[in-house]
Amino acid sequence: MSFISIPRAMVCAGVLVAMAGCATHTGQARPEGAAAANAATSADSLAQTRWELTSWVDALGNQRNIPHGDNGEPISLTFLADGKRYIAQGFSGCNRYSSTYKLEAGKLSISAPASTRMACTDAQRAQLEADYLRALADIRSFTLDASGAPRHLTFNVASGDVLDFTRRKDPPTP
């Protein structure tokens, strides 16, 4: 081997090591579809994802009924990032809501949501909506399934309740 080929071999080895480091799997939420390009530039792994509440178990282990809105719309949560603004918004059973959120050091926090003021015609749905909005502001921990593009999101809230969400079609890139 000549003197010139040793440095060249070391450079190639260094490039391969650097490329292998870039290929590690983190298990964080990754957006799908058109939103992927925008979210990939954000430090927030939840950006540009949409979720539907599919299960709610209270602190005693009882399954709560999750009715849809009058128009059939499910309870939902969408995470959006627009530059440094992080927005959590969705439908809470009777009303639309909006809030801000932070994801720092693996801790998700959603500020108390503001919502429209449509009257709920069903008392059970009105109570569920109030409980849901309260739960969003009181998340103790959250988990995502470990797939490359997670399909399930779980919130453990201060009351002991567990809210499970299933990923739906991601929102379009703003």
Is 6 contained in some domain? no
pLDDT digits (tens, 9 = 90+) for 51-109: 999 999 999 999 999 999 888 999 999 999 888 899 999 999 999 999 999 988 888 99
Evaluate whether 99 touches 87 at the Cβ level (below 8 Å). Answer: yes
Q: Which residues contact 21 (CB under 8 A, 6 or more apart)?
A: none
Is 5 contained in some domain? no
Is 9 contained in some domain? no
Is 100 contained in some domain? yes
Is 130 contained in some domain? yes
Is 173 contained in some domain? no
| pLDDT given for residue 173 in this prediction | 74
Is 149 contained in some domain? yes
| pLDDT given for residue 126 in this prediction | 94
- The tally of domains found in the chain comes to 1
| pLDDT given for residue 36 in this prediction | 41
Is 137 contained in some domain? yes
- What is the chain's alpha carbon radius of gyration, rounded to the nearest angstrom? 21
pLDDT digits (tens, 9 = 90+) for 1-59: 444 454 444 434 443 333 333 332 323 334 444 444 433 333 477 889 999 999 999 99
- Which of 88, 96, 111 is closest to 165 using CA atoms? 88
The reported pTM is 0.74
Domain residue limits at 59:
34-167
CATH number, domain with residue 57? 2.40.128.270
Return d(Cα 24, Cα 128) in angstroms, integer. Answer: 40
